[in-house]
Chains A and B, each alone.
Chain A
Amino acid sequence: MAPQTPAVVMDNGTGYTKLGFAGNDSPSFVFPTAIATKGPSAGGAGGGSGSGRPAVANKPSFLTGGAGPTGHLSAKRGTEDLDFFIGDEALNAAAGPGYGLHYPIRHGQIENWDQMERFWSNSIFKYLRVEPEDHYFLLTEPPLNPPENRENTAEIMFESFNCAGLYIAVQAVLALAASWTSSKVQDRSLTGTVIDSGEGVTHVIPVAEGYVIGSSIKSIPIAGRDITYFVQSLLRDRGEPDSSLKTAERIKEEFCYVCPDIVKEFARFDREPDDRFKKYQMQQPGGRSVTVDVGYERFLAPEIFFNPEIYSSDFLTPLPNIVDTVIQTSPIDVRRGLYKNIVLSGGSTLYKDFGRRLQRDIRHLVDARIKASETRAGNAAKSGGLDVQVISHKRQRHGPWFGGSLLGQTPEFRSYCHTKAEYDEIGPSIVRRFALLGGPGST
């Protein structure tokens, strides 16, 4: 076994998988966490081909109590099982006849272990092209991942792939480490509130000294996919020549931003139409080129974080209020640190001025509460106020992956992993615990 191979870092998200090697600035591969297999598609909401606006996503299963179907490794496979594609190739294959498209991860958690195993197999052998027995692996998991899921993961990694060593880190903790690259972050602290918003779900996760405060986590059913659907519905209301999900997603990623106030923003479009309205040129599948006008969705779409009511009829709490509640329900001695280091992570936090608006709105909530309590207590009890700081940074997009890259390259990383030999001796339960990587005392 070569001692100096870089660790493999894999962050499998609901929407996208980020694959690469520790020590790098960005993942080598980013592609949809999708697999195309022979037969019909699973159908339903997870696919990218739904039509119309769906009801807001269901609660993640960890909130409803069930741990989801406990997956099972298929012991033996026939050759037909090699007939599958992952990532963008899966989308292409499923566009033709004969293949069905599946998304093995729902709400951040692996739900189909058989598909996930095949997805990992292709990731390792076809994309990264590494021999797993020569590498240590750093994998990520969502907050509150049930221990059985960790064990299933270890079983596949060690028994099917023979990987040399394994560390499983919580995405939010990695996202905190990723923010160390920001100049606003002075100490390399693992205390902070992580807002991780990707494709399927938005988590608000308080972390104190590297440990997730599980009882205070909140997740909200509004994330990238909902914003895409909202853009699509606005395109449809105007009868644009193309309002496919793909077009809606491209428009979202290229043109959307967060504004301070939607009424003022409508007025700004009236005043500066040439500057505000845009055009999106695209080729339709037949090769025909069409132009789609882009307008109010630029600021209305990400507004659903701050005003969910404009999109959803059953989830109404704005993100800033959720963040404030998460911190208020955390232990009192860490609240200051949680307000001071609110770290953004994931593709759906990339909108211009997202952090600025969030910081302003959280500050308003905090200031109003302080003022109210000062009034109650009389002027004697003037408090010094609270520092609310939202950190945007260069590595935010792939925050969990980059944090994994950072920690996976440290000299002590391997000593925090469980090895194949340890797994063989103790069994899957060994992965229920990992020592805290990047915590106090490590470099």
Chain B
Amino acid sequence: MPAYHSVFLDRPNPQVIGAITLPHSRTTSNALAASCPRTRGPAPTLPPLPPDVAELTIDDSHESYDPLDEILALFRANTFFRNFEIKGPADRVLIYGILFVSEALGKIKPGMGRRDAEKAVMNTALDTNFAIPGDASFPLNQAFEPPRDRNEAEVLRQYIQQMRQELAMRLLNRVYADGNTPSKWWLSFTKRKFMGKTL
């Protein structure tokens, strides 16, 4: 049983650029989200979670389960694997997301309060200076494809930007689920590298 693939592989793809799907996702609405200027992006938004479903424990069969839920659900298991056979564009979303979660998690130090962690993580998430497929500094160019033109590149960049912000917020919710100290269980994954790569 090798590393886990995306359940979104066999769903109709909304749009593919750079060989990744541009996923539909929910947006977390909380005080932190309101303070982020660019949480809105081109990704079609799914309706918010119904009151009886919790973000931290949503099941993959639920209709509101989105690719970002999946990234956080598979992160801990998949970081143990070095090999991953990409089966389609949805798997590339998964890869990028897991590598980003690793990077964001690395900003949280043991004992750091939530406020400081938010600052550190959102700093990374909101930084517009990140590489997209096709850029020379993008670490996974063999597995991805460059966008076909400037327009595609712009859309892709906005998608990834949106994904980084949304993932960062959901990650913080998990790491700080129990209060103002970060979960040592999550922090223990900072050194693991899915596919041996970092963003």
Contact = CB atoms under 8 A, between A and B. Distances in A.
Contacts of B73: 263, 266-267
Interface string B178-192: 000000110111010
Interface string B51-63: 0000011000000
Per DSSP, chain A at the interface is: helix
A263 B57 contact: no
Contacts of A318: 1
A135 B4 CA distance: 57
Interface stretch (B11-19, B79-87, B160-168): B79-87
Given A238-B184, A307-B1, A296 B76 contact: yes
A226 to B, nearest CB: 14
Interface size bracket, B side: 20 to 34
Contacts of B185: 238, 269, 295-296
Contact of B57 (A237, A267, A296): A267
A132 to B, nearest CB: 50
Interface in A313-358: 313, 316, 318
Contacts of A271: 57
Interface string B79-114: 011110000000000000000000000000010000
Contacts of B184: 238-239, 293
Interface in B112-159: none
Contacts, number: 45
A365 to B, nearest CB: 11
Contacts of A238: 184-185, 187-188
A361 B82 CA distance: 22
Contacts of B188: 234, 237-238
Interface string A283-303: 000000000010110001000
16 contacts: A237-B191, A238-B185, A238-B187, A239-B110, A239-B184, A262-B77, A263-B73, A266-B77, A270-B56, A296-B76, A300-B80, A306-B1, A307-B80, A309-B3, A309-B82, A316-B83
Interface of A: 234, 237-239, 262-263, 266-267, 269-271, 293, 295-296, 300, 306-307, 309-310, 313, 316, 318, 361
